[in-house]
Structure 1
Amino acid sequence: MAAITRFSKPLALSHIRRCLCSSSAAAAVSDESNPHVTSPFGNYKITRRDPSERNVQWVFLGSPGVGKGTYASRLSNLLGVPHIATGDLVREELASSGPLSKQLTEIVNQGKLVSDEIIISLLAERLEAGEAKGQSGFILDGFPRTINQAEILEGVTDIDLVVNLRLPESVLIEKCLGRRICSQCGKNFNVASINVKGQNGNPGISMAPLLPPSHCMSKLVTRSDDTEKVVKERLRIYNEKSQPLEDYYLNKGKLMEFDLPGGIPESWPKLLEALNLDDFEERQSAAA
């Protein structure tokens, strides 16, 4: 069984049931009891609504290479909520002629980090646009990453649950070094075959490679930053910054840590069980 710590399961289950009880609700019209959000970066028409009247609003955290995007995307499809990755928002803005495009281009070309203010502005605009389309809820992928970002985010919207996905560092390094991209179709694959034996009472971890079809095999390339030195440094920086953020959400009673027991076949059903969604998936399949 995958380990879940620092978040009481009875509390988690009751909270999730409350969030899921009206998963198909449309965006509510704002009134005096549901004021629009006013943030330091502009006025956004994002209505704060009771969890029983909307879908889930979750955050997925985890080290580089852990698979945040994979599991967040799967849950997004299952629950019918948008999967929002702030990296995608930045890339979309860069490719557009939006108001921040020129500023972002200069930041990226100079190798600087995108400021919290810009990230929150893009996120708030995305949430506002989603509400206008009748979307309810969201799953944020890899954001916030600092306490400052988390505090700013609280001024924009409410977060129900923070899921922190975990893998041993040795496995993360193997996964990152095994990543490959097809230079023609752009799809991501992984050639690493991971088999870590259990030690000191901890279970082993096995992950089969995610191999490409034969027509992509000769076109695979490795990301320039997927070297052992760079990967280890990314993990070091992430771990250094993530602990205060985890403590921040722990103190708010919103943090659930989930140790991935293996690849997708092993981890997905365990994650659904931890989130009390295993029956939900079965009901969705039966209704399809």
Structure 2
Amino acid sequence: MSASIRLLRCLKASRAFSAVTTEAAAQFPASLMRGSLPAQSDMKERGVHWVFLGCPGVGKGTYASRLSQLLGVPHIATGDLVREELASSGHFAQELADIVNKGKLVSDETIINLLSKRLESGAAKGESGFILDGFPRTIRQAEILDGVTNIDLVINLKLREDVLLEKCLGRRICSQCGGNFNVASIDIKEENGKPGIYMEPLLPPSNCASKLISRADDTEEVVKERLRVYQAMSQPVEEFYRSQGKLLEFHLPGGIPESWPKLLKALNLDDSHEKRSAAA
């Protein structure tokens, strides 16, 4: 049984998730528990089980998506799942819109329901492994995830808050194709011992240039609130994985051209690996 199916079944078994703790997770059937997962040596066959942590706007989606293509596992972004639900006519789309537009976190139970549906869909397609982006976001989510699957690695992306704010305010979406772009041109010089940082804008092709829109929740007030909430919630999650020896903190040195090869090196994935995957 795949790890994704184990996770799906266990998440579905925990509808009253807000009351679930590590002790409760220990009561799940042994067949669902991480002890029955393949060993590290079998990771290639089962696919990696990775998690991306990081503040909103840090670039989790960009780097998780690239690694997803490189390693051949699905990139599952809970933020995308929320936005897809918002665009639907689902029964709680309006409730979600009210939460998101105020910069608040979506409830654990809602996130789990959306993630369960995504995993069920992927399992039906034969997906193996995953790179989670935006989950777990709370310590309770981390505990339940730890109870049902053995996460191999947690990549914690770090970036200065002033840069994060600029990046979030520069995000744009093409209203026609749904592509994600960023019009922010960041060039901060070294000052007071802080290293400088340069990030080029991620501009759209000409056919999308006139169709760019901002996300409704990407206002300065909402972005600052999201960053504040994330910082308050993230430390216990980081410590949870740090204590397990699974946390890799990666400070982004700049834009994609500078950061991507350094991230590959930190993950022991060299250029030849990337080129072979691209040619396959």
Q: TM-score, normalised by structure 2?
A: 0.77
Tell me the distance in 2 between the aligned counterparts of 1:225 and 1:120.
22
Tell me the distance in 2 between the aligned counterparts of 1:117 and 1:218.
38
Q: Deviations over 1:24-79 (max 9, x none)?
A: xx959x9xxx9x96554289996733232222100001111111111100000000
The Cα shift of 1:131 comes to: 4.0
The structure in which a higher percent of residues are strand is 1
The answer to whether the Cα contact below 8 Å between 2:157 and 2:251 also exists between their aligned partners in 1 is yes
Amino acid at match of 2:67: L
Q: Deviations over 1:166-219 (max 9, x none)?
A: 110111111112122333433222211111112355432111112223343333
Tell me the distance in 1 between the aligned counterparts of 2:183 and 2:121.
38
The Cα shift of 1:160 comes to: 1.0
What's the Cα RMSD here? Answer: 3.2
How many correspondences in the alignment? 254
Mapping of residues 87-126 of structure 1, within 5 Å: 87-92=79-84, 101-102=90-91, 104-105=92-93, 107-108=95-96, 111=99, 114-126=106-118
Q: Deviations over 1:134-165 (max 9, x none)?
A: 32210000110000111111233221111011
The structure in which a higher percent of residues are helix is 2
Tell me the distance in 1 between the aligned counterparts of 2:233 and 2:275.
38
1:173 aligns with 2:173: no
1:245 aligns with 2:237: yes
The answer to whether the Cα contact below 8 Å between 1:120 and 1:152 also exists between their aligned partners in 2 is no
- Identity between Structure 1 and Structure 2 (%): 67
Mapping of residues 1-288 of structure 1, within 5 Å: 27=2, 38=10, 40-41=13-14, 48-53=37-42, 54-92=46-84, 101-102=90-91, 104-105=92-93, 107-108=95-96, 111=99, 114-278=106-270, 279-285=272-278, 287-288=279-280
The Cα shift of 1:232 comes to: 1.5
The answer to whether the Cα contact below 8 Å between 1:27 and 1:134 also exists between their aligned partners in 2 is no
Amino acid at match of 2:40: P
Gaps of 5+ in 1: 1-25
The answer to whether the Cα contact below 8 Å between 2:139 and 2:236 also exists between their aligned partners in 1 is yes
Gaps of 5+ in 2: 16-27
The answer to whether the Cα contact below 8 Å between 1:27 and 1:132 also exists between their aligned partners in 2 is no
